[in-house]
Amino acid sequence: MCTRVVWPDAAGAVIVGRNMDYRRDLATNLWKLPRGVERDDGVRGELRWIAAYGSVVATAFDMISVDGLNEAGLAGHVLWLAESVYGDRDPSRPALSQAVWLQYFLDNFATVAEAVAWVRETDVQVVQLADPASGDVPAIHLALDDATGDSAIIEYIDGALELHHDRSYRVMTNSPKYDDQLRLLAQVEGFGGDTPLLGSTLATDRFARASFYVDRLPEPTSQVQAIASMFSVIRNAAQPFRLPEPGKPDASQTIWQVVLDLTRRRYVFESTTHPNVVWVDLDDLDFSEGAPETVLDLGTKLAIQGGVAGNVGGAFEEGRQLRFLTLDMVEQLGSARKTVTTDAN
């Protein structure tokens, strides 16, 4: 599930591409979230904050931020990692639910370095939440990148934090964990080894191809050319439509792709089922405290014929707020399901 690529030297701009691969539609929408909104950890409400930065985020089921960019040029991307084990809840540590894990960083930090320092200082714990629709419990890791070209990969393996922070960490896919991905990449031709560059949809092969091609992009002469170049790389790492493979949620088709210009703060979105390319320039949006949360409903607006395309900054609409999934919501839903099952019996 998913590929993320950073191009830190695109003629003075930092360009990031990302594929979202999943076996079913995530009902993704784009949200504009202003500064000044109060949020909590989604676990027991012990960690609370007020958003210092506004952001544009792509959501899953309007309950979790899975990708996004804030007005300071910090971006984040949630990807699947089957090896993720966050450990039993330790009440002595601050916690973040998976639903707000990414959003916390977009709300509070301008750079990867700031975010990494906070993670190391607090020893924050991530808490899994079951998907209310399917009952699946996501296993995810997180990539952060910023307008300086910095990058970090945050994973939890066997209950322990594994944090990789360096500008050279430009590509992330899925299994195996990041240390092992780097070791396997060193065996590929062009990275020190003699294994040919392979073309399968395996996460290791996508990792190698993305690493290979992003290193060979030509110097762009415009923002449009830089964005197109990154689309060419992530499309090479995309996964075709196919029947899902049992027990392999990370081996799924690409359902949407995004390219982000972190320097000029442009967020570009393309659905693979409704392939109109749309974008929003964050400089055109009102992120001031007290401004409304607004949403671009991609399910209804992103039609192939008659739908929106191009710059959609003016197409975001008011009327509802983003409600992040919380532990309480999951527990209440679980209790309701048990009640229904008991009554049926």
Give the span between the Cα atoms of 137 and 10, in whole angstroms. Answer: 37
Cα 104 to Cα 118: distance, rounded to the nearest angstrom: 11
Going by the DSSP 8-state scheme, the letter that residue 213 receives in this structure is H
Which ranges of the chain would DSSP assign to H, the alpha helix?
A: 98-108, 112-122, 178-185, 203-214, 223-236, 298-301, 327-344
SS3 of residue 251 by DSSP: coil
For the annotated catalytic residues, the residue numbers are 2
Cα 105 to its chain centre, rounded Å, is 12
d(CA 260, CA 156): 26
Task: List, as own/partner pairs, every contact residues 253-256 make where C-beta atoms lie below 8 angstroms and the sequence separation is at least 24, other chains included.
Answer: 253/21, 253/22, 253/23, 254/19, 254/20, 254/21, 255/20, 255/21, 255/22, 255/25, 255/26, 255/28, 256/19, 256/20, 256/28, 256/58
**Residue 256 φ/ψ, nearest 5 degrees:** -160, 165
Rounded to an integer, what distance in angstroms lies between the CA atom of residue 338 and that of residue 299? 32
- The DSSP line for 178-199 is HHHHHHHHTTBBTTTB-BPPP-
